[in-house]
Chains A and B, each alone.
Chain A
Amino acid sequence: MDITPYLEKVCQTPHAIKLNLKLVSVGEQAVTLTLPYSKEIVGDSINNYIHGGAVSTAIDTACGAAILQAQSNLRAMATLDLRIDHVRPADSGVDINVYADCYHLTHTIAFVRASAYTDDVKAPIATAVGTFMRSNKQFPIT
């Protein structure tokens, strides 16, 4: 399935550009994006582990993209809540992938779950569940 222009938008916000987030694949209601390793997102300058906050950002962004994918339009949304379990630290120097799945949509709420991993989606470094409010407005295309 192709990455649609509106889906590309989630990786083109100033902060997504800062972290260099890249969409790598999309499914019907799911997406995978990559958070490339960089010195700028390190949380511990001795061991060079990636900061949990950067992982949270990648997860939040992937969840938003999964919702866009599930609803097939640019309807805006806002994170209501996000719960993240940091299962284990990622090895230093390794890119992180996030798979996010929007498994249910109501008129008002989108339900998502996500998993962050390095090599194997079945051996996550972090897992997350969240809910998003769905807006009545569209994201403006600029």
Chain B
Amino acid sequence: MSLVEKINDIKLHHDYEAIVELIPYAQTIGVETSMVGESIVSSLRFMESNIGNPAIPALHGGVIAGFMENAALLHLIWEIELVNIPKIIDVSIDYLRPGQPSTTYSKCDTIRLGSRVALCNIIAWQEDITKPIAQARGHFLLSENRPI
């Protein structure tokens, strides 16, 4: 079964937790998913192995980036009729506060959904959604041009 077929099967059965099992990296950093209304929402449980600065201690900036990229990917996978797995083109992250050793949440909005490219905005927060620890925007490739 191809990855797209597998994901479409998961979507059909609304088995949103199974999707993380297809992404080993998401399991490595502790991504969990839940449904809020019709949307899939990712959270990141705290793990000692996600610490990047033991002195504060704070989460590794790369973990926060990876979590947000992954959150956008899951958001798109859930939102759109899949032909291909969306591929990340670029991501730009602004770090606003240190990531504390606690659960991190994310919210993703699709700013523009084209036929080939989607643009997403993602925020990540911990205790207080009005005090995000990072914001990001990224483009995802949905389908390629045929060679000219």
Contacts and interface: CB of A to CB of B under 8 A. Distances in A.
A53 B62 CA distance: 7
Interface string A45-86: 111001111101111110000000000000010111111111
B109 to A, nearest CB: 19
Contact of B60 (A51, A60, A86, A140): A60
Question: A54, A58, A140: which has the most chain B beta carbons within 10 Å?
Answer: A54
Interface of A: 13-18, 39-47, 50-54, 56-61, 76, 78-86, 89, 139-140, 142
Interface of B: 2-3, 6, 21-26, 28-29, 48-55, 59-63, 65-67, 69-70, 85, 87-95, 98
Contact of B92 (A43, A44, A81): A81
B62 A14 contact: no
A83 B69 contact: no
Contacts of B88: 52, 86
Contact of B91 (A13, A76, A80, A83): A83
A36 B53 CA distance: 21
29 contacts: A14-B54, A15-B52, A41-B24, A42-B24, A46-B6, A51-B66, A51-B70, A52-B91, A53-B62, A53-B63, A54-B66, A56-B65, A57-B61, A57-B63, A57-B65, A58-B62, A60-B52, A60-B60, A60-B65, A61-B62, A80-B95, A81-B92, A82-B92, A82-B95, A84-B90, A84-B91, A85-B89, A86-B89, A142-B54
Contact of B90 (A47, A58, A85): A85
A83 B70 contact: no
B75 to A, nearest CB: 15
Given A46-B3, A52-B69, 9 more contacts: A15-B51, A15-B60, A45-B3, A53-B62, A79-B95, A80-B94, A83-B92, A86-B91, A142-B54
B48 A53 contact: no
Contact of A15 (B6, B24, B50, B93): B50
Given A82-B65, A83-B92, A13 B52 contact: yes
A60 B62 contact: yes
Nearest to B70: A53
B110 to A, nearest CB: 18
B23 A14 contact: no
B2 A18 contact: no
A46 to B, nearest CB: 4
